[in-house]
């Protein structure tokens, strides 16, 4: 009985201490609350700006032109090619301090990744202020043009296949009923092979 009373006393004491400790937390001052709320609003605004920026990148005519080129790029690379709009992650971390965001129109083919366009977004005006073609993309275009020039030369070297001659089919005249009957009688004649088997 005494053990039960001491155990209940210890449990009650533990609850009292934990509730007392929670009440002793330092209360935030008005300034700290304002700073916390401002930081939260900055994060929300940054996320909103990034979402608007990505939508505007996807709506660019440069993005549409590159999307049209995907089929030929897939044939040349002989693997799936993906086009995407990406916001620079370093700019996102420091976005609350900066007035602009930087993004890229990026083309991925297997392990190869090329930034085709560098795009700058003004956070105050809420619009894209510059679109620049990257040097990487210019080099890739030159290589693709060189490959296209090389292909016709290679195509001439192999021997050309002779054109197929089409043979005109002779028209078969329709048979009369009398001719059909004659054909049936031909079927009734024994073949030479059967005669040899019988002997």
In this predicted model, what pLDDT tens digit does every residue of 98-132 receive, in sequence order? 788 899 999 888 788 888 899 999 988 988 999 99
- Which residue in the block uniquely carries the two structure tokens 């795009």? 119
Give the separation between CA 141 and CA 148, rounded to whole angstroms. Answer: 11
Number of residues written out for the chain: 199
- Give the pLDDT of residue 158: 46
Q: Report yes or no: 82 and 108 within 8 Å, Cβ to Cβ.
A: yes
pLDDT at position 180 = 52
Cα distance between residue 147 and residue 138, in whole Å? 14
Backbone φ and ψ for 103, nearest 5 degrees, come out as -135, 170
Rounded to whole angstroms, the maximal C-alpha distance in the chain is: 126
Instruction: Using pLDDT thresholds of 50, 70 and 90, give the confidence band for residue 179.
Output: low
Q: pTM of the predicted model, to two decimals?
A: 0.56
Summarised one tens digit per residue, pLDDT across range 141-173 is: 777 777 767 665 444 444 444 455 555 555 555
């Amino acid at each position: 009985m005494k053990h039960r009373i001491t155990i209940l006393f210890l449990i009650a004491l533990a609850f009292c201490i934990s509730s007392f400790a929670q009440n002793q937390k330092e209360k935030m001052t008005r300034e700290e609350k304002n700073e916390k709320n401002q930081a939260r609003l900055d994060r929300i605004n940054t996320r909103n700006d990034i979402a608007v920026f990505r939508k505007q990148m996807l709506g660019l005519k440069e993005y549409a032109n590159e999307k049209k080129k995907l089929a030929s790029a897939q044939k040349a690379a002989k693997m799936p090619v993906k086009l995407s709009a990406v916001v620079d992650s370093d700019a996102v971390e420091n976005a609350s301090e900066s007035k602009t965001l930087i993004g890229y129109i990026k083309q991925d083919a297997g392990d190869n990744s090329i930034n085709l366009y560098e795009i700058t977004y003004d956070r105050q005006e809420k619009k894209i202020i510059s679109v620049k073609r990257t040097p990487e993309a210019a080099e890739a275009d030159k290589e693709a043009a060189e490959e296209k020039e090389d292909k016709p030369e290679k195509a001439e070297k192999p021997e050309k296949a002779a054109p197929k001659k089409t043979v005109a089919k002779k028209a078969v005249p329709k048979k009369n009923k009398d001719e059909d009957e004659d054909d049936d009688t031909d079927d009734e004649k024994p073949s030479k092979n059967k005669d040899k088997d019988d002997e």
